[in-house]
Structure 1
């Protein structure tokens, strides 16, 4: 009887601890159970990365999405600095790229077509006549296999089948998220293919360093280490030109608030087209991770963000299409310009621009890319 009673007590304790793991809230207020669901025959979940400094990054394997990212402000209070949702249902309800791992090819491909070795590849068109972020079956809408080898590391894997969204080749994908003790989130991308294809991955987090998405990001100061950007045509497709930043609202070669930049010339044709900023910057960092690609600072919290990347370009998007229709974490409506995206990547529509750095991946080769989001404090 004593052995049986002891077994029951231990079993109850074990089951209780399992329930606690599922129901316990993260630092940012998320509940793991709200992210556990069968999607496309696979299990979704929520994973929390933590460090000794108290920072936390919560990621779901649905789309490899960063759901929350909590870092200290100047008062040593943790602030959640990314937009996202409280449960998996909100991510499934309406296609979006909030916090997502984007692939096969980030950004737009004109007319959903490109030529590869003389063959015209026709893709799924999900942006009018064009393809954006890999089409309807882009990786932001797929369930990754997840492994968490430590409290600060998460590894996601996905197999993209030959012909998925029209792209050739079966691609093996691995994305590794690592949170350092210095509050740096490192994202390492890896891919291999069995057939010639194109790859251009990124992360599509919306940052709001105020920690309060009821406020917009217009007071954030931005510095981008670039001398040129890629202008758009009327359908938001890159024209193929590289335009200098000097004398334009796009000139962030010195720290300037987003509001001040927009006020330079709000009638600028490119600003009008995108209803703000939604443009790729041609970085001058040469893919060197020791060189800062971009810097952001929020005066209300003192939180700063430094972006490092091996990529040649950086898409800067000021959340112009957010319209309050999406209700995010803690019931906050995401209105226009309440999030800032900084997406390291190859230039948009590169498969149709052979003069630009290539996105082609051949069998036997490895696609690798690294982005680091380093958080700090300025007083």
Structure 2
């Protein structure tokens, strides 16, 4: 069982690589930097296949780091905050900490109340990935998840390629194969603030567009209630641009349950062949614009509701509520229990593939 050869070939030109820190057992954690145009640069850690920094120019050419994270390895190890991490095997939630596949029930860790969140206690965000290819424009990281890992069946071989595909464009390509039927739902969990995290401001003034007709209302445990509900006439309607904070304090039951936005937007009923626009965010003050294109059927929008100033990050900032937003392309949550939802099942002989594009500009 191997991944496609294209992601395992060594690259010709060297990448910028350095030691970021060491795990308790002495294993090195690397940081790889990829540089685009006009100061655009991304820094990627092998730990969690994490985007540790992302520098993007504003309308005047001034660059700023726009993602939450840490300057050293120790805080990543001490607190599981998911800042910039790769999530797996199953992003988002699985209700009841178990699922059934081909008649067999697989118990999982309940690490979010009665539910499983982001792959369990030691998800892919807590692993040190291997560098299998790197050059000036890309890096490919790989991970082997053994049979029974966090309760999931089948040995899973995973590869993630970060590639500069434009002057200020970063494409993430996830691939996976398995030796037994299993579930796979991988995503990037970036926490973004287009004003720059050094400012210490919130993202409530960021203007968001999500071209989705429906979303998934949830219960108090953030598990979908039923099927998709129309966004029309609700604070969840971002089909036309709205500031994130414009309706975040409305007396809406779904807003109350999540203390803001933490919901899946239904983009399609299955993965699509070519990435298409999932979200656009603009920061009026700096002019920075981020567009996310994806081939995944959903995108989880989270408005940083549970950031509570207990975690200190880069620039000595305490990360407070709404200090960042997340837009996580993925399958819909709790799909193993929902036959009508897009299926996250992966069989032997098949390949999981997920491509998301992060495109930046300034107005």
Counterparts of 1:136 and 1:39 in 2: how far apart (Å)?
18
Structure 2, gaps ≥5 residues long: 1-15
Query: Which of the numbers 269, 284, 290 marks the counterpart of 1:305?
Result: 290
Moved more, 290-299 or 302-311: 290-299
Counterparts of 1:101 and 1:231 in 2: how far apart (Å)?
25
Paired position in structure 1 for 2:356: 371
Counterparts of 1:321 and 1:178 in 2: how far apart (Å)?
31
Counterparts of 1:322 and 1:100 in 2: how far apart (Å)?
16
Counterparts of 2:137 and 2:319 in 1: how far apart (Å)?
29
Query: Which of the numbers 123, 137, 151 marks the counterpart of 1:166?
Result: 151
Counterparts of 2:21 and 2:40 in 1: how far apart (Å)?
23
Paired position in structure 2 for 1:219: 205
Residues 1:339 and 2:338 are matched in the alignment: no
Counterparts of 1:346 and 1:40 in 2: how far apart (Å)?
35
Counterparts of 2:327 and 2:91 in 1: how far apart (Å)?
13
Residue pair 2:188, 2:329 contacting (<8 A) in 1 also: yes
Counterparts of 1:96 and 1:184 in 2: how far apart (Å)?
25
Q: Name whichever structure is richer in helix by fraction.
A: 1
Taking structure 1 as reference, are residues 95 and 161 closer, same or farther at Cα in structure 2, changes over 3 Å only? same
Q: Secondary structure at the match of 1:76?
A: coil
Which is greater in Rg?
A: 1
Taking structure 1 as reference, are residues 109 and 40 closer, same or farther at Cα in structure 2, changes over 3 Å only? farther
Residues 1:105 and 2:90 are matched in the alignment: yes
User: Aligned residues, how many?
Assistant: 346
C-alpha root-mean-square deviation of aligned residues, in Å?
Answer: 1.6
Paired position in structure 2 for 1:208: 193
Listed as ranges, the matches of 1:1-379 within 5 Å are 32-33=18-19, 35-39=20-24, 42-212=27-197, 213-263=199-249, 266-284=250-268, 287=272, 289=274, 291-378=276-363
Counterparts of 1:160 and 1:52 in 2: how far apart (Å)?
36
Taking structure 1 as reference, are residues 261 and 289 closer, same or farther at Cα in structure 2, changes over 3 Å only? farther
Which digits, 9 at most, give the CA deviation of each residue in 1:256-291, with x for residues without a partner?
Answer: 10111324xx22110000000000000159635453
TM (norm. structure 2) is 0.92
Counterparts of 1:40 and 1:124 in 2: how far apart (Å)?
25
Structure 1, gaps ≥5 residues long: 1-20, 23-31
1:202 Cα deviation after fit: 0.3
1:97 Cα deviation after fit: 0.8
Counterparts of 2:267 and 2:288 in 1: how far apart (Å)?
23
1:119 Cα deviation after fit: 1.1
TM (norm. structure 1) is 0.88
